[in-house]
Structure 1
């Protein structure tokens, strides 16, 4: 078996995703994934703590992009404007060439309650990270938490639209549209 071939992590990720889709998450083992790309199970575990991590790898970078978006936003911005900047910055995590991968990943998560729970925990952690960044920018409570939770909701709605089979817009464009809908929804009645 090939041991130190370049790109092993990406090959393992691609193989895992396909095997999860074909066989099911529970029916696929780390050994199955490694063997499918000519690697050992030990090599798999050098790259991923367990098979769930194949799907959730990059979570820290994803959150860091949101927090960076809040931290680097222009001074004096409202909580919603800071969240808009965070959404814009974090959309770089999902370039259009990642859409097919994200679509397949989401299908696998939706089919497995344990993975759904993990995804919800990831979103809760993201919301708390954004809220902390907002508080550090001087946004008081409960505004910081409300804005952070709203930002995560906007991301979730936009992401589901972005992975739709017939969607062609960028995630950033969809997020701007969804955030506009939220602003309309919360605007005072005339």
Structure 2
């Protein structure tokens, strides 16, 4: 096994998602994931405490990118303009692997209650990161919370559309997340 080959973390995530989709989350073992990724079990545990944590791989980095984008938005930016800056920052790091992972991850999550719960917790964490970044800009609590929640919805919706689009014509993720945020802004304005 190529223990020290670069990209072990990414290979572990891809292997896990494939196995979760093929045979179910409960039937998949850490040993199977490691074997399919071409690493040892100890390498698996170097990156993840258990197989549940594979779903939230990259959440800390994504939260940080969203928060940095919000913090670096111009001072005069509205809360949703700041969220758009965060979405643009985070989306800029998504590449072909993220594009290809989307439909497979969606199928794996749909097939497992435990993964659905983990996915929901990931959304809560992303919303909290954006809410905190907005509050640091002086945005009042309820407004910051609503803008953070809209940011998560926009990211998830944009990511789903992007990952389902043909890889060759999909382009970058940012236009998808920003369009989703615009749609949500328009929808919230129609609430009255």
Tell me the TM-score normalised to structure 2 length. 0.86
Give deviations 1:83-121, integer Å, cap 9, x for gaps: 111111111232244211122122111211111111111
1:176 aligns with 178
- Say what the alpha-carbon RMSD is for the aligned residues: 2.3
Post-superposition shift, 1:56? 1.6
Does the 8 A contact of 1:79 with 1:134 survive in 2? yes
Q: Which has the higher contact order (CA 8 A, sep 6+)?
A: 2
Give 5+ residue unaligned stretches, structure 2: none
Distance in 2 (CA, whole Å) between partners of 1:140 and 1:67 is: 16
SS of the equivalent of 1:49 reads: coil
2:70 aligns with 70
Give deviations 1:130-163, integer Å, cap 9, x for gaps: 1111111011122111111111111122222222
Distance in 2 (CA, whole Å) between partners of 1:2 and 1:188 is: 55
Counterparts in 2 of 1:14 and 1:188: CA distance versus 1, 3 Å: closer
Distance in 2 (CA, whole Å) between partners of 1:6 and 1:158 is: 29
Moved more, 173-182 or 75-84: 173-182
Distance in 1 (CA, whole Å) between partners of 2:115 and 2:182 is: 30
Q: Which aligned pairs between 1:1-190 and structure 2 lie closer than 5 A?
A: 1-166=1-166, 168-187=170-189
**Greater Rg over alpha carbons, structure:** 1
Moved more, 159-168 or 65-74: 159-168
Counterparts in 2 of 1:76 and 1:111: CA distance versus 1, 3 Å: same
SS of the equivalent of 1:93 reads: coil
Distance in 1 (CA, whole Å) between partners of 2:152 and 2:183 is: 14
Post-superposition shift, 1:171? 2.1
Post-superposition shift, 1:7? 3.7
